[in-house]
C-alpha cells in the first residue's frame, strides 16, 4: 500500500481497456496528424474539413511537434495538480474559489447543475483555470484569486494554455483556408494576450455507483467557444450519433443514440464549439456530447479529464464571416454580437443559474 502522501488515484497504466462489447457502441472518428497539419499536407487538410463538416469531432495525433508534446506530458502533470486539489483540499476551502457572479473561472462543486428535466443533479467537479491569469506577468493584476496549488503551478498552466491555444489556432487556420475565409478574420479574434473566456478545465467524476444509474457527470451540450482540445484517459465521453446544427437545448433534437468516444493514447480529442458554427453560418458542426461514468470495469476508477476551451476574445464580434465556402447570411454586414455577451446568452439558454456553471453546460 503506497504511503498516503504518494497515493494517487490517477493511474493510467493500471486502467482496464475500454470494453469491446456491443453494449458499448463506439463512434468512428478520423485521426488527424498535428505534424501533417503544421506541414500543410493537402490531404490532411481536406480530412480536417470533412471531420468538421460532419460530426465536429476528431482525434489529433500529438506526436512530434513541440506543442503536441507539451500537451501530452502537460496533461498528466495538470491532472496531478487536479487530483491534489480535488481530493486533498477540504470542500469549504474549495468553495472559496467557486464560480460566481457570471465569472466562469474557478470551482464548480458536484451537483450544482441540473442534468435533465426531472431536475437530477450532475456528478462532476470542475475547476476552470483562466488562461489570461496564468500567462500574466508576475505581479500583474489577475481576474480573480486562485488557490496556492494553482499559483504554484502557474508556469505549467501557462505552457499548457499556450500550446493548446496554438494547436487550436492551427486547426482554425486550416478551416479558414478550406472555406476561403481570410485567416486574419479568425486570428484577430483569438489573440492570446487579449482577455477571453479561454480556460483549462480540470474535471473529476467519481467512480460509478451502480451499473444501471445514468449518473450524468456533464449533461448533453455543445461547447460555447471556438474549438476545444480535450485529454482523457477513461471512457465516459459520448457523442450524439446524428449531427445537428441547432444550439442550446439540453436534449438532442434529432433522433439518434449516444455513442462512446474511446480514449486514444497519444491523441487529443478535438471538437468545434458554437462560435465556429456561427462564423461559418452552419457549414461546420459543434458536436453534441455528454459525460457519464466510465463503462464496465473502467467505471471503478475516478475519471479525470483536462479540457482547453479556445474562445473568441471578450471584445470580439461574432457574426458570419465572408468566405467562398460560407453561405451568405443577414448578419455578415452587421457589427455582430459581442463574444462576452454571446457566451452569456448561450449559458442562459441552457438554463444555467450562474453563467459559470454551464458553460456549462
Ligand X SMILES: O=C(O)CCC(=O)C(=O)O
Give residues in contact with ligand X (CB under 6 A).
201, 203, 218, 223, 230, 232, 237, 289, 291, 305, 307, 361
Which range binds Fe ion by CB under 5 A, 103-111, 220-228, 326-334, 341-349?
220-228
Q: Which is nearer to Fe ion, 94 or 221 (CB)?
A: 221
Give the shortest CB-263-to-ligand X separation in angstroms: 8
Q: Which is nearer to Fe ion, 223 or 274 (CB)?
A: 223
Half-sphere exposure of residue 128: CA atoms within 13 angstroms, side-chain side: 25
Give the shortest CB-218-to-ligand X separation in angstroms: 5
Which entry of ligand X, Fe ion, none binds 203, CB below 5 to 8 A by partner kind?
ligand X
- The conformation of residue 229, written as its DSSP 8-state character, comes to E
Q: State the Rg of the chain over Cα.
A: 19
Task: Please give the backbone phi and psi of residue 135, each rounded to the nearest 5 degrees, phi first.
Answer: -95, 0
Closest residue to Fe ion using C-beta atoms: 223
- 223 is a site residue for Fe ion (CB under 5 A): yes
Give the shortest CB-50-to-Fe ion separation in angstroms: 21
Cα distances from 324 to residues 63, 177, 180, 231, 286, in angstroms, run: 33, 10, 5, 33, 21
Integer Cα distance of 267 and 32 in angstroms: 9
Q: Which is nearer to ligand X, 207 or 325 (CB)?
A: 207
By CB under 5 A, how many residues form the interface with Fe ion?
A: 1
Coil, strand or helix at 258: strand
DSSP for 278-327 reads HHTTTSS----EEE-PPPGGGGGS-EEEEEEEE--BTTPEE-PPPBTTS-
- 359 is a site residue for Fe ion (CB under 5 A): no
Which entry of Fe ion, ligand X, none binds 237, CB below 5 to 8 A by partner kind?
ligand X
Give the shortest CB-234-to-ligand X separation in angstroms: 9
Residue 101 φ/ψ region, left for φ over 0, alpha for ψ in the -120 to 50 degree band, beta for the rest: left
- The conformation of residue 230, written as its DSSP 8-state character, comes to E
Q: Which is nearer to Fe ion, 44 or 223 (CB)?
A: 223
Those residues with Cβ within 8 angstroms of residue 77's Cβ, 6 or more apart along the chain or in another chain: 153, 156
Q: Which is nearer to ligand X, 267 or 361 (CB)?
A: 361
Contact criterion met (CB below 8 Å) for 308 and 161: yes
Closest residue to ligand X using C-beta atoms: 305
Which range binds Fe ion by CB under 5 A, 221-229, 292-300, 321-329, 335-343?
221-229
Burial (CB count within 10 angstroms: exposed 0-12, middle 13-18, buried 19+), residue 8: exposed
Give the shortest CB-139-to-ligand X separation in angstroms: 31
Which range binds Fe ion by CB under 5 A, 49-57, 215-223, 233-241, 328-336?
215-223
Supply 197's cell numbers. 473566456
Give the shortest CB-270-to-Fe ion separation in angstroms: 12
Give the shortest CB-162-to-ligand X separation in angstroms: 20
Residues that bind Fe ion (CB under 5 A): 223
Amino acid at each position: 500500500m503506497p504511503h498516503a502522501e504518494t497515493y494517487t488515484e490517477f493511474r493510467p497504466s493500471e486502467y482496464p481497456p475500454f470494453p469491446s462489447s456491443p453494449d458499448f457502441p463506439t463512434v468512428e472518428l478520423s485521426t488527424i496528424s498535428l505534424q501533417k497539419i503544421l506541414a500543410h499536407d493537402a490531404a490532411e487538410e481536406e480530412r480536417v474539413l470533412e471531420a468538421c463538416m460532419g460530426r465536429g469531432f476528431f482525434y489529433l495525433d500529438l506526436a512530434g511537434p513541440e506543442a503536441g508534446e507539451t500537451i501530452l506530458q502537460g496533461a498528466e502533470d495538470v491532472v496531478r495538480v487536479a487530483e491534489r486539489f480535488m481530493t486533498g483540499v477540504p470542500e469549504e476551502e474549495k468553495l472559496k474559489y467557486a464560480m460566481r457572479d457570471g465569472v466562469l473561472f474557478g470551482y464548480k462543486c458536484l451537483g450544482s447543475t441540473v442534468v435533465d428535466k426531472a431536475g437530477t443533479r450532475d456528478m462532476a467537479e470542475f475547476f476552470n483555470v483562466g488562461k489570461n491569469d496564468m500567462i500574466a506577468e508576475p505581479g500583474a493584476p489577475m481576474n480573480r484569486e486562485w488557490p496556492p496549488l494553482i499559483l504554484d503551478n502557474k508556469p505549467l498552466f501557462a505552457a499548457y494554455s499556450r500550446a493548446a491555444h496554438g494547436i487550436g489556432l492551427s486547426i482554425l487556420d486550416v478551416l479558414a483556408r478550406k472555406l476561403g475565409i481570410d485567416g486574419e478574420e479568425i486570428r484577430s479574434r483569438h489573440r492570446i494576450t487579449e482577455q477571453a473566456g479561454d480556460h483549462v478545465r480540470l474535471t473529476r467524476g467519481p467512480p460509478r455507483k451502480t451499473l444501471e444509474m445514468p449518473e450524468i457527470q456533464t449533461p448533453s451540450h455543445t461547447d460555447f467557444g471556438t474549438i476545444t482540445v480535450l485529454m482523457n484517459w477513461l471512457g465516459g465521453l459520448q457523442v450524439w450519433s446524428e449531427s445537428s446544427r441547432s444550439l442550446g437545448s439540453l436534449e438532442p433534437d434529432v433522433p439518434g443514440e449516444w455513442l462512446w468516444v474511446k480514449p486514444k493514447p497519444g491523441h487529443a480529442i478535438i471538437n468545434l464549439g458554437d462560435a465556429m458554427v456561427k462564423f461559418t453560418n452552419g457549414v461546420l458542426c459543434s458536436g453534441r456530447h455528454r459525460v457519464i461514468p466510465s463503462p464496465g470495469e473502467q467505471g471503478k476508477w475516478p475519471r479525470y479529464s483536462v479540457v482547453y476551451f479556445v474562445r473568441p476574445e471578450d471584445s470580439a464580434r461574432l457574426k458570419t464571416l465572408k468566405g467562398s465556402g460560407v453561405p451568405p447570411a443577414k448578419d455578415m454586414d452587421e457589427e455582430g454580437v459581442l463574444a462576452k455577451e454571446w457566451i452569456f446568452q448561450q449559458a442562459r439558454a441552457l438554463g444555467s443559474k450562474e453563467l459559470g456553471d454551464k458553460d456549462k453546460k
